[in-house]
Every structure is written in structure tokens, then in C-alpha cells.
Amino acid sequence: MKRSIHALLPALLPLLALARPAPAGPSAPLFENSDFRSGTFENWTADGTAFASGPARKAVRPDSDTTGSIEKGLANNWNASRNLYLQPELTGCDGETFANSFHPETLNRATGALTSIPFVVRHDYLTMQLAGGRAACPGKLAVNLVGEGAILRQALPRGEKFVRFTFDVRDIKGREAQLRLVDDQRLHGGWIAAGSFAGGGSPADGPVIDGKAPVHRKTTARRTFRCDRRYLNIPANRRFPDDAVKLLDDGRVVQELCMSVCDEEKAEFWQFLDLGPWQGREVTLTMAGWSASADPLAGAVLDDRIRGLDHLYDEPNRPQFHFTPPQGWNNDVNGTVYYDGEYHLFYQYDPSRSGLIGRNMHWGHAVSTDFFHWKHLPIALGVDPERGQNYSGSAIVDHHNVAGFQEGSEKTLIAFYTRRMPHMYLQFDFDVDSSDQCMAYSTDRGRTWTHVDKPAVAGITGKNRDPKVFFHEESGKWIMAFFIRGGYDIYSSDNLRDWTRLSHARGFHECPDVFQLALDRDPARKQWLVVNGNGEYAIGAFDGREFTEESRGRTVFGRFHATQTFANAPDAPLRRVQMSWLRYDLRDLPCRQMLSLPVELTLRSTPEGPRLFAEPARELAGLRIEERTFPDAGLSSSPFEITGLPWQLTDTELTVDLNGASRLDLTIRGQLLTYDSSSATLELAGSPAKATVHPSGGKLKLRILVDRGTIDVCAQDGRVFLMHVFQPDWTMPVLAATAEGGAAVVEMLAIHRLKPAWKPEAN
């Protein structure tokens, strides 16, 4: 028999009531003043500065610019408004008062903790409301329920609006516990607000934390082992790299890196330490940071390979004669210097593979005897969260031990770099005391480095960086130039430790390089050059105090930055070999960026005056293994093509007599290179690599180098140099050429096959 729904309702209502969620909301305070209703921290204890000003009723909004940033007019402001430095409005809190770690004077730089008195857990559920800034590392901003020396529950803020959280505490009911609010995050959204702590018999609306998930906490770990393999592989993920990992040899720190350590089953990749210099020795590995792992170093394993990189340097898209790190992010070239047969290349390096830059800057390190065959060495300047990051700079050889660091027969290498504190990218100008020009030194040919705590030049503004140090023979002084406010400040020193400001050179931006070159290879006609970070150069005079500019020019074009030349080289001042950061993302590789082809700079006389020329470093000839030459060929609208060559790595030389042609098109593995005679413009399509080139006697002379993913074009024996990254189409001709408006002729054409610099076998 069918019954109507109305007839069934009386029987269903009790069942429906059971199916409904229990009413949300707390039923009682956990202890007196657990909800801060007294307006004080009664029954709570504050440590540090974060909670020092007591409970709050709203966001902290200082009445004045406590940072001084706006009134200083610092150039690093992303937003001229004071709101950049203020706590956002807090909404969604039921309680009248709450704990707030945002400090009225030091703002979100303040750190500390707020701990309750011990109380007995008498409810099934413990509820609270919680808001916070952008946590760089899980656990640094948190509400922890602690007991018996352990974190029993942990809640992490989920944004700048209050969210109600519930701890399921039924399994610890009757035990004693304490609440501990933690702010261990400096800047970068480093604040937490929490209140309405209460207990109840049912969970509230919002996230319920049952305690089964791992808890992020301050962690230390230690392991000792013998270096009987080349690499130590450590499981890692792409979280904020805030775990300080150190390698100690006989108690001395010989390697440092910041990463995010995890258990092997949760690893996204393997981080590694190069143990090459310590083979056969017993070393100690330590870790201090934030982890959810019970034993963070348990997954570290010794191996003769870097795990997860089985085809390292033979990946299909890996450049073969351009420098790339094994994995991770690189940017600026740093510290290029020659010492006793080795060219040292340092570079800005984030080994964490987090995909973000500016918050984990190490100095990577490699050495070479010819600029192309590079040997990777352990990270030179590592990151420690307390000391800070290592931004760009330079390196010198202290031949006469004026700094006093030498410990044997080896001369001391000294790196000068910008140290940034804290361990993250700073958008806040008021932290000028944490942007210093600092020193580190090596007494063992650059294999290990020691940081000098005292800055060489203390911070001046939020954007003072990239120290370039060199010796000025005429004055007998060491000179430092670094970027600050639209130019370079120039300092001098007798001992490399104490520096005096001399002058300011305007019109330059970032990553200075200062050196002398012999005009037309005549050592008696040396001239000073100052090279901007973007490759633009100025020629002039330097008297040891001021740089007097005489002319400006540009030779190298493309999307690159942070050009640096190798100091102390045996063939200076006849040439300087320059490298830079190519600012392109690489595809399908464990590394994301790369460095440019090494080019040798020379200073030559031209009708316009002295000009800088750039050609591939002559050592590139050592990679040539085969050559094909081709007879003269006329060019027209129908393409002249070189096909049937399976070579990937090529060095092509050609001379074209334009003979009145209005346009020349060269296609190299699908990449278009054009020359427009009317505007005298040479251009790589799809690239900022574009420059004015004037043929000599109507002839255009080119040298074109193709690597996996890159193309370099040298025109008119180095008068112009173009750099570009592209995806070669290996099915397309090595070279195809057409001309319009004239009877152009290819007079000379030679294609050289190159071998990989990274692998001994031919390509």
C-alpha cells in the first residue's frame, strides 16, 4: 500500500535530525582569558617582539611611516603607497579581541611566540579563528597544541581573512596541553592573528584537524658517513627552500645549501651535494629547518650519479657548448676570474628547482681551461637562513695577501657579493641594513669558501648591489664599483677590508664590469671601459677616483643580462672573454636558464672612433671536428639550400656580396636571419637581437653558430654580435638563402661540425 510523504514525515523527522550536522560553535573557554576578553595576555606568555603589544581589536595600522622608506625616497618601491607596508584589514573574527603578531613599529619583521598556561583538555573539540600572511614555509606561522614535549595538533593560516579551525582532541581528552602561537616568519607576509579559543562537544564549520597528518616543526638532524661515492643525493620537494643543509669536514662547514628536505616517497626530485673534494674522508651532514619528516636525513643516499638525471647533458634539448647547470635555476654570471690555469665561473644559482627566483641565491661554481669544457665544482657560496643570500658580485686574486687570509702557498681567491637578509626576496626598502657588500675567501683554489661576517660596505639603500672589484695600478688601490640609484658608486681600499667612497658614475644599471683593453692590441694604448649589465659599454678615462666618459656603444644584442669578463687572465689587456645570462626558459630540462657563448672582446679603431668588437672565443676552434666548403652561388628569390648534412652543432662562415640586393634572408634550421639593406639592419626573427650593420665594400661577412636551442651570429668580424634562443627544426636545411632586388652572391661558405663540449663522444 502506498503511503503519502506527509504521512511518513513524523517518522522521518527524528532520522533527519540525526543526519544533520551537529550545531557549530564553541561551548566554553578553555581556561580563563583563552579568548583574550580581558584585553590582556593574562594566562599567556609572550616571547620575542611579535606579540609584545598585547591583544588587538583590528589590524595594526601605524599612524606614521615607521619604516622611513617613503620619506627616504628609496628607488626600490614597488608601490609608493604606505599600504605596501601595512597589515591588511582583518575580517571574519567573532571575538572582540585576538592575538596579532604584526608589530606597530617593526611591522611584519617581528617574530616571537605566545604560549598559554597549561590546561586540561576537557572537550571533544577545540575551536579557534585564524588568519595570517603568506607563509613562506609551513609551520613558521602556526597555532600549535603542544603537550609532553611534542606538537599534538597544528593549524596553519589559509589567508588574510579569519577562518574557523577545529582540532579533534577526543583521543587526548583528559591530558594536559598548551596552546602556542608561532610567528617565525620575517617579512614576506610574516604575521599571524588568532583568537576565539574555546572548547565544545561538536566540530565547528571549517577545517577539522584530526592530528593524523604530519606536523611541520623546527627540526634538526645529523648523519656521519664516509665519502666513497661522488654525490650525496637528498630527497627534496618544491616547497619553500628553508631547510639549512650543511656538510662538515673535521668540524668545518665546507658546503651549504638551502632546500626543502622530505621523505623519499614524497620527493619531487633529488637534491645533491658534490663530494668530489672529500673522497675517502669522513664527513658530517646536518640539517636545521622545518619538516614534517620524523627523520629528515634518513633518505639521503650516496651514489656515483645524480639520481633522477640519468641522461644528464645528453637530453635532446640540452645545449652542448653553452653552459647550463645540472639542474635548478641560474641567472647572473658572477666572479669570473683566472687563477693558475683555471678559469673560474660562478653564477647565481637556485638549486631547489622551486621555479621561483630571488629567494634562494647560492653561487654555483665551475672551472675550465678553455671556456667550453667545464668541470662542475661544489656550490661555492651557500645559503644559510640566518646569514642570508648571496647575490651578484665579482672575484679577485689577492696576489700580495693584503687582506691577510692566505694560509699556505696558494694565493687567496676573494669573492665580493651582495648579501641580502633575510632569506627571501625583499620588496621592502626599509630593510636597507640587510643589503650589504660582503666578502668570502678561499685558500684552496676555490674549492671551499669562508664567509666574512663584517660587511665590506654596509647597506645604503634597498638597491645597492653587484660589487665589481679590481686593482688600479696607477693609484695602487683596490677599487669597488656597485650599482646604486641610477649609477655606480666607486670606492677604494688598501686592504680589501676597509673601503672609502670616492665618486658616483651616473647612467648605469646593475652588474658593473670595469676593465682596460689595449686599442688595436697595442699595450701602450690601453683604455678604460665600463660595461653596463645590459651589455652597453662606455669608453673613457679612470684616474683611480672618477670615471670620465668619452663615448658609448653597444656590440652584443639579445635577451641577456649581467655581462662579466674574466679578470686576471694571462692575455689581458689584449682581450677580455665575456659571458652573460641568457634570459630564456629552456624546455623539458631539469635546468631552466643558461649562460651565453663565451665571446672575446677587443678594442679596435673605426672611423667613428674606438669601438668594442665581440667574436666567439677563439678556443671554440677546439670543438671543430669536420668541415664542408661550398662553391660560389648566386642568390635569387628561389632558395639556395644546403641539405643532407645531419649535423646538429655547426659553426658556419659565409661572405655574401650583396651586389645591390635590398634584402637577404637566411634560414638556419628554421630560424630566420634577415638583412635589410635600406635600414642596414641585421635581425634574428622573434628576438630582440637586432642591430645596425654596414657591409664592407658591399660584402656582408657572417659567422653563425647553432647549438641545441641557441643561435649566435657574429657579423663583420665582431662589429655586431646577436644572441638568441630558439627550438631548432633538425628536418630543415642547415642553411637556406634568398635575396631580393639584386644579384647577390655567396662568395665563401664553410660549415664546421662541432663536437659536444659536455660529452667526449661526437654529436
Q: Three-state SS string across 246-279, please?
A: EEEECCEEEEEEEECECCHHHCCEEEEEECHHHC
Strand partners, 711: 706, 724
Cell of 226: 664516509
By the 8 A CB rule, do 511 and 487 touch? no
Closest C-alpha among 323, 324, 327, 296 to residue 310: 327
Whole-angstrom Cα distance, residue 121 to residue 170?
9
**Cβ–Cβ contacts within 10 Å for residue 393, how many?**
30
By the 8 A CB rule, do 575 and 601 touch? yes
Whole-angstrom Cα distance, residue 465 to residue 488?
9
DSSP notation for 320-358: SSS---SSBEEEEEEEEEEETTEEEEEEEEETT--S--S
Pairing of strands 720-725, 556-557: parallel
Cell of 410: 696558494
Give Cβ neighbours of residue 440 (< 8 Å, ≥ 6 apart): 380, 381, 390, 414, 415, 417, 449, 450, 451, 452
The residue annotated as part of the active site, out of 184, 274, 332, 350, is 332
Give Cβ neighbours of residue 152 (< 8 Å, ≥ 6 apart): 145, 146, 169, 172, 177, 211
H helices of 648-760, in order, are: none
Whole-angstrom Cα distance, residue 83 to residue 101?
18
Closest C-alpha among 336, 717, 369 to residue 563: 336
Give Cβ neighbours of residue 597 (< 8 Å, ≥ 6 apart): 321, 322, 579, 616, 617, 620, 705, 707, 710, 712, 723
Pairing of strands 594-595, 599-606: unpaired
Active site residue 332: yes
Amino acid at 172: I
Strand-by-strand arrangement of the 252-259 sheet? 217-226, 282-291, 243-249, 252-259
Q: Is 316 helix (H, G, I), strand (E, B) or coil?
A: coil
Cell of 179: 596552546
Give Cβ neighbours of residue 571 (< 8 Å, ≥ 6 apart): none
Radius of gyration of the chain from its Cα atoms, rounded to whole angstroms: 31
Closest C-alpha among 367, 366, 322, 377 to residue 341: 367
Give Cβ neighbours of residue 13 (< 8 Å, ≥ 6 apart): none
H helices of 108-173, in order, are: none
Closest C-alpha among 551, 544, 570, 463 to residue 511: 463
By the 8 A CB rule, do 345 and 323 touch? yes
Residue with cell 564553541: 26
The single-letter DSSP state of residue 621 is G
Closest C-alpha among 727, 645, 647 to residue 685: 727
Give Cβ neighbours of residue 703 (< 8 Å, ≥ 6 apart): 615, 616, 651, 652, 653, 713, 714, 715
By the 8 A CB rule, do 443 and 412 touch? yes
Cell of 494: 688598501
The residue count for the chain: 763
Whole-angstrom Cα distance, residue 647 to residue 424?
44
Active site residues: 332
